[in-house]
Structure 1
């Protein structure tokens, strides 16, 4: 699935081609260097969807707060009606990112505004949790 998007603009909003932006992270060819890069790549994984996207989200979730894979499968099934349409990063620090993710549903558009927390674990950034407003 990720290969189909390689020359398209990355869903994370950097303006770079997917192949030069989040695809190497999704494929495990390299790790996110910052919390912002990890957050953008996680958004892109949700945007491209499928099992590969779910697996990336699972791998980058801190084990202390990560839901069971079955719960992620249920969330993915529910979110199949969502089409992620854009991402705006409002602010960030070393280990947090505030953003708005926009989406369309059959019932109309919506958005998710969150301040996410991240932690380096064994040299890799992981998503810990977030406050949705």
Structure 2
């Protein structure tokens, strides 16, 4: 199975080692991709542990669980970075995410800020821009990329590849 993050690698060779604790992200992009896959898989403990301590306290696990249980993530796309300053201990990733909620395709873009603490990359904050939702008709092609009509595509595969 291709990884949910869109890297082209298999999940077992891409984000799974981060989720299972076998590897630490070496870059903020790797961490962002692994967090996206964690959202797809509803890996809430990983999402909590991969952000700074302030956010671990701030974010309600119940709210996060409610959100990920209602949506189906469809696609992740990296975007060009605006002019930002990097250092060895902080970095940024600019991306866009599409997800289905009911029969609507939602999208947001985010400029995420990451910090390196105790030799680990952690999500720190993000500037999120919501985009207008689009209704997906029953006979429209499914946005997940399966090639099926929306009405016939259940369950969706977040990586955009048809289930084996």
User: Could you tell me the TM-score, scaled by structure 2's length?
Assistant: 0.70
* Structure holding more helix per residue: 1
Aligned partner of 2:100 among 104, 108, 114: 104
Alignment partner, residue 129 of structure 1: 125
Task: Give 1:24's aligned residue.
Answer: 17
Which of 62, 71, 77 does residue 52 from structure 2 map onto? Answer: 62
Superposed CA offset, 1:21-55 (max 9, x none): 00000000010000000000000000111xxx100
2:110 is equivalent to residue 120 of structure 1:
no
Structure 2 gap ranges (5+): 130-164
Alignment partner of 2:71 out of 82, 107, 110: 82
Partner of 2:62: 73
What is the TM-score normalised by the length of structure 1? 0.86
Gaps of 5+ in 1: 1-7
Root mean square deviation, CA, Å: 1.5
Q: Cα offset for 1:65?
A: 3.1
Q: Which residue of 1 aligns with 2:137?
A: none
The residue that corresponds to 2:37 in the other structure is 44
- Runs of 4+ displaced beyond 6 Å: none
Is the contact between residue 118 and residue 127 of structure 1 (CA under 8 Å) also seen in structure 2? yes
Measured after TM superposition, the shift of residue 68 of structure 1 is: 4.5
CA–CA distance in structure 2, aligned partners of residues 67 and 89 of structure 1: 28
